[in-house]
Structure 1
Amino acid sequence: MRKSLVAALLVLAVAGIALSGCTATVTKGSTVRVAVSQAFSSYNARTSFGNVAANASIVAATNSQFNYYDNRPALQKDESFGTYQVVSKQPFRVKYTIRDGVKWSDGQAVDGADLLLSWAANSGALNTPGFDNESYTDPDTGRYTKPFPAGVVHFDGFSGNGLQLVSKTPVIGDDNRSLTLTYDHPFVDWELVFGVGLPAHVVAQKALGMDDATRAEGALVTAIQKRDIAKLSKIAHFWDTGFDFTTMPKDKSLVIGTGPYTLTGLTATGATLTANPQYSGDHRPTFERVELRFITDPLAAVAALRAGQVDVISPQPNADVAQALLSVDNATVLSGSDGPYEHLDLQFSHSRNGTFDDPVVRRAFLKTVPRQKILDDLIVPLQEEARLRSSQVFLPGEQGYAAAVRTNGSSAYATVDIEGAKELLAKAGVVGPQVCLLFDPSNPRRVAEYAAIQDSAALAGFTVTDCSSTDWRQLLGTDGAYDASLYALRPSSLAVSAVSAAFRSDSPVGNDNFYANPEVDALIDSLSATADRSQQLAILQKIDARVWADGYGVPLYQFPAVTAFNDHVSGVAPSPLSPNLLWNVWDWSPVDKG
């Protein structure tokens, strides 16, 4: 299928237009039905197990934050929830204040305890130094299989995004509605690293066995402030595991939130969100209910839209999906490029076969990857103008991308070079290296990519085998599980310092291939304290070049995106950043057909 067919079908989304929140009134009895491609697994989307797009979308719809990205994407503040401001530059301090009257959906006030718990869980400041949680994790699912030893505190939060620089306990103030964070040194992305997470009163009640919410909150605050190891160990364990479920829990306190919707139903096949009567912010919804259906097959999602079983879909696009959408009556289809990008990463250590411990072998394998063939076969039929992504750091079209690509060394892997790969293997003295590739076997695009890589690498003497698993996300970073991984990541922000999670040697989350380079670590440290944009670009370009030189892996392409909805709903405006489709679900409205 050529561009003309796709163009006839697709209506391009206008990226420069963002919908704004309004004081809507819920339309009694109204429901919008949405197909999503992943099932829900955890209400805590900040843990290594829960950090997946399906969870993040539902959590975003049911919880408010100090800021969020719209569909341009541009960062927007939600001052109906709370405010933040820099109160000191030396030392660097930021104060967060919850707006008076903001409540959890159970009626409990959102307060300083909730803010303090979020810091404790995501800064890593209270974690037991040197503790390794690997032996307590099921390698197949990524879940913890047993409690940690007595005396161990381990919050499995997202502590690699900059909040770890707040090593001192923050100060609660303003009648228990604010928290002031003091950074060890200025941090360029401070505005993106902090928000309210799980309810402190619920975590404390469950972890400490207390019935009274106020007393439980007080006990949690005291435990954090006094660094009470015995209590913190219990609090951390419940924070890590207590919100993992795939069906609606009997204990409804586990699903309370602060956003326009609350989670009121959950099965293996779908979820139900209902308008939150306690919500008083600017994002009041119009639809009373949002019913999510978990449909992994893109063509099945199109069929559900055609049959009127769902109103909104955002399937992974391919030529068959685009063709199928032609047969859907009264549908609006939005297309463009999405935030995620497909990439192939190599394990620098702790791999199944140890193949890529040698940098020469890494470079040899990367020369065999048929990047252009993969693009031509899978993406160009949808986007004729699609190009290879050739930076590990910059988005195509972003300031700095073109300059980085000219100098980062990616040109060495722009086309397949079998003879060059053979020469490098001979130089390394390696014969018949084994590469077991981790990918999602339920994703047709990944299956096709695996086959193309397998065939091409065999020409140079590599034997590529199948390490695929439907639990691939949980297997990332697991010792001995695979040699290379093929997947995509959906960015949740445009943080300059995001490279830290992927490339810093001591990154607690994101560096799943054990990449380590002291020069890159030093560049990342410098970047985190640099506010000047031209200097940031120069540092990022150096990081990009170093990562390519180390044979980290290869980026392949930006995801194409397609969203379709019928004439029962208006206001759908997908964002390239997580939570993608549901970022503005409060703006969706039923269409009155008279």
Structure 2
Amino acid sequence: MRLRGFTVAAIAVTMALTACSAPEDESEERAREDSDRAAAGEAPDAITIGWNQPYYSYNDDTSDGNATANSIINYMLRGNLFYYDENQALVRDESLGTFEKTSDDPLTVEYTVADDAAWSDGTPIDATDLLLQFVGTSGNLNTIDASDDVGNLGGEVYFNSSSPGLPLVTELPELSNDNKTLTLVYSEPFADWEVALDFGVPAHVTAMKALGIDDPQAAKDALVDAVQSNDKAALSSLAEFWNTGYDFTALPDDELLHLSSGAYELTDYVEGEYLTLTANPDYTGELPASINEVTVTYSDDPLAQVQQLQNGELDLFGPQATTDVLEALEAVDQAEVDTGVEGTYEHVDLVMDNGGPFDPATYGGDAETARQVRQAFLTAYPRQDIVDTLIKPINPDAEVRNSFLVTPGSPSYEAVSEASGMEEAYGDGDSEAAAQILAEAGVEGPIDVRFLIPADNQRRSDQFDIVQPKLADAGFNLIADRRGTWGEDLGSGTYDAVSFGWQSTSTAVTESQATFYTGGLNNLIGYSNPEVDDLFDELAVTTDEGEQEDIQGQIDAILTEDAIGSTVFQFPSVEAYNKNVIGNVTSAPLNPTIFYGYWNWTGPETE
């Protein structure tokens, strides 16, 4: 999952959705034009990129819209104050504005919007846009903790998002007289202040739609008034629209729902099939489109995408890496293939609040028995077998990941993973030890476990085939629950265990908070531990790197002891593109992966 900056990584899931290519009659003409451009050493006028899940929300800061499928498109539609490069370094983009820390005590950060910044409908971008993003992601004006129906709040205020840092800004941000500067004053230090706030959806559109105001400036004024006067009725309407008003699965008739402030505009979208981005003619920023038109087609079948690349229907795609896909790509003459490691990691989740085998309620509220059952499951889970069988053929250096919070290769990984105790606690899949834990808990098998699997994801099916016999030997009866809607069902409580990937979008130390914090945006298993919550709160206000590492190790150790699940491996990455059409393609390990560096794309590279 993605969230810009302070939010947790968007869920890196592969949804099973049917998709088609862009119209064939246009692709033949385009191929001829691109051939002429390539011969002249020029970048193509248009390219087609393959992806696995269709876009469905212009607001990827909500809990529901927080997905990589949305963030990769919004990355090209909307300008941001910063991004991460291919080396995971934070880079500031001052096209729309700047920000600076003006004080350490109290921590004060000042954001200034560029004078010429504007949305594609001509409305100026100003501090009101940042104010809405602060209100939406901080939750500071919410009157309820959560809402099952975010589209009908009944007069309550609930912006469906979360942030580990912005709640520390307990006073309303200050707006300058010219409405170009917004100032945040934190009540405590915040380690990740640089990535705490960025631009989101347009304030004027949100207020126009939510409050029934036609004039953009009048709408922004009304939004500011509602925030500053804490007008509950107006804020409830603003929250409802912010939560759901930007969701769509085909091109809306109303262009206000997908305005551009970045290099591209959304010009076409056929539901479930493809969308088209066209260079924004009014963009004057630092990251302009190098290719005029980008069409993104959708398919959940990577082998079909390999065939499309060979046929000239795709120019770039980043499939889930399997040996079958790599072997197929090797047979495509025009394919340039790069492999590496993604910022996404595979993990297994055990649901703790659904009345299933891992829920204390199943054992009369006995939390320790439920914990032992979870511990037995994880002790038998063959993480090393999965890595050896499925990942090492693609990345020979692959290893089991042993930290919930820290990515392998980062400076603190060795210390935090050792502190976690995960390797010692879970081992390499010991069915006998797991059975002994169940016996000590007084729980007899076989224990039925509904294991959620995406219907058409080969690697996840292969994982299940490796896991099932090991768990059977330990006393667990794994039931394959294959669903085409599995991504939508995550967090529904209708399964007991699931394995999927979390994608990192930043290097912020607080990035994982929403996954493990009580009621966190990405807490899909019903986990709650006050000690973990307190440590995350402490981590958020700790700026010393050594102390951060120590706190992360403590959190990791508690998560391991509580047996909430386990990390398994870091995703191997595969990026493939047509070297006869496009060049200078560099994928980034963090979101937006293959869409990173669109401003650098060129024509074919010559030797």
Give the distance between the partners of 1:481 and 1:351, measured in 2 at CA.
Answer: 10
Give percent identity, aligned residues only.
39
Counterpart selection for 1:449 from 463, 471, 476: 463
1:544 shift after superposition: 1.4
Provide the secondary structure at the position in 1 that maps to 2:385. Answer: helix
Give the distance between the partners of 1:156 and 1:550, measured in 2 at CA.
Answer: 28
Give the distance between the partners of 2:177 and 2:486, measured in 1 at CA.
Answer: 45
Q: CA RMSD in A?
A: 1.9
Letter of the 1:547 partner, please give it: L
- The answer for the alignment partner of 2:570 in structure 1 is 558
Q: CA offsets, 1:182-220, max 9 Å, x none?
A: 212110001112111001111111111121111111111
Q: CA offsets, 1:164-197, max 9 Å, x none?
A: 2223211111511111112121100011121110
Letter of the 1:416 partner, please give it: G
Give the distance between the partners of 1:530 and 1:116, measured in 2 at CA.
Answer: 26
Q: Are 1:531 and 2:554 an aligned pair?
A: no
Give the distance between the partners of 1:451 and 1:291, measured in 2 at CA.
Answer: 36
Give the distance between the partners of 2:170 and 2:232, measured in 1 at CA.
Answer: 17
Counterpart selection for 2:435 from 422, 426, 434: 422
Counterpart selection for 1:381 from 393, 396, 401: 393
- The answer for the alignment partner of 1:217 in structure 2 is 220
Provide the secondary structure at the position in 1 that maps to 2:407. Answer: coil
1:485 shift after superposition: 2.0
Q: CA offsets, 1:527-583, max 9 Å, x none?
A: 112111111111111211221111121111110001111121122111111111112
Counterpart selection for 1:437 from 451, 471, 479: 451
Runs (5+) with no aligned partner, structure 1: 1-26, 137-143
- The correspondence of residues 240-279 of structure 1 with structure 2, limited to 5 A, is 240-267=243-270, 268-279=272-283
1:77 shift after superposition: 0.3
Letter of the 1:465 partner, please give it: I
TM-score, normalization by structure 1: 0.90
1:484 shift after superposition: 1.8
Provide the secondary structure at the position in 2 that maps to 1:577. Answer: coil
- The answer for the alignment partner of 1:62 in structure 2 is 77
Contact 1:286 1:590 in 2 (8 A): no
1:306 shift after superposition: 0.7
Give the distance between the partners of 2:485 and 2:140, measured in 1 at CA.
Answer: 30
1:28 shift after superposition: 10
Q: Are 1:296 and 2:300 an aligned pair?
A: yes
Counterpart selection for 1:473 from 475, 479, 487: 487
1:355 shift after superposition: 4.5
Counterpart selection for 1:231 from 234, 250, 263: 234
Give the distance between the partners of 1:33 and 1:211, measured in 2 at CA.
Answer: 37
Letter of the 1:246 partner, please give it: T
- The correspondence of residues 514-529 of structure 1 with structure 2, limited to 5 A, is 514-529=526-541
Contact 1:355 1:435 in 2 (8 A): no
How many residue pairs get aligned? The number is: 554
Q: CA offsets, 1:486-518, max 9 Å, x none?
A: 1101111011112321222242x1222122222
- The correspondence of residues 100-499 of structure 1 with structure 2, limited to 5 A, is 100-130=115-145, 132-134=146-148, 136=149, 147-149=152-154, 151-157=155-161, 159-173=162-176, 175-267=178-270, 268-355=272-359, 358-410=370-422, 411-432=424-445, 433-478=447-492, 480-499=493-512
Letter of the 1:441 partner, please give it: A
Give the distance between the partners of 2:210 and 2:478, measured in 1 at CA.
Answer: 46
1:85 shift after superposition: 0.8
1:51 shift after superposition: 1.0
Structure 1 residues 363 and 82, CA gap change in structure 2 (3 angstroms): same
- The answer for the alignment partner of 1:86 in structure 2 is 101
Letter of the 1:486 partner, please give it: S
Give the distance between the partners of 1:571 and 1:254, measured in 2 at CA.
Answer: 32
Give the distance between the partners of 1:181 and 1:231, measured in 2 at CA.
Answer: 23
Give the distance between the partners of 1:439 and 1:192, measured in 2 at CA.
Answer: 34
Give the distance between the partners of 2:419 and 2:64, measured in 1 at CA.
Answer: 37
1:472 shift after superposition: 2.8
Counterpart selection for 1:73 from 82, 88, 102: 88
Provide the secondary structure at the position in 2 that maps to 1:521. Answer: helix
Give the distance between the partners of 2:118 and 2:218, measured in 1 at CA.
Answer: 17
Letter of the 1:148 partner, please give it: L
Contact 2:43 2:601 in 1 (8 A): no
Contact 2:276 2:295 in 1 (8 A): yes
Q: CA offsets, 1:382-419, max 9 Å, x none?
A: 11221111111221122122233334222231222222
- The answer for the alignment partner of 2:553 in structure 1 is 541
Counterpart selection for 1:568 from 558, 569, 581: 581
Structure 1 residues 300 and 351, CA gap change in structure 2 (3 angstroms): farther
1:148 shift after superposition: 2.1
1:446 shift after superposition: 0.9
Provide the secondary structure at the position in 1 that maps to 2:45. Answer: strand
Counterpart selection for 2:114 from 85, 94, 99: 99
**More deviation in 167-176 or 302-311?**
167-176
Runs (5+) with no aligned partner, structure 2: 1-41, 361-366
Give the distance between the partners of 1:517 and 1:445, measured in 2 at CA.
Answer: 32
Contact 1:103 1:278 in 2 (8 A): no
Letter of the 1:438 partner, please give it: L
Letter of the 1:171 partner, please give it: E
- The answer for the alignment partner of 1:38 in structure 2 is 53
Give the distance between the partners of 1:269 and 1:590, measured in 2 at CA.
Answer: 26
**More deviation in 498-507 or 363-372?**
498-507
1:354 shift after superposition: 4.7
Letter of the 2:159 partner, please give it: F
1:41 shift after superposition: 1.0
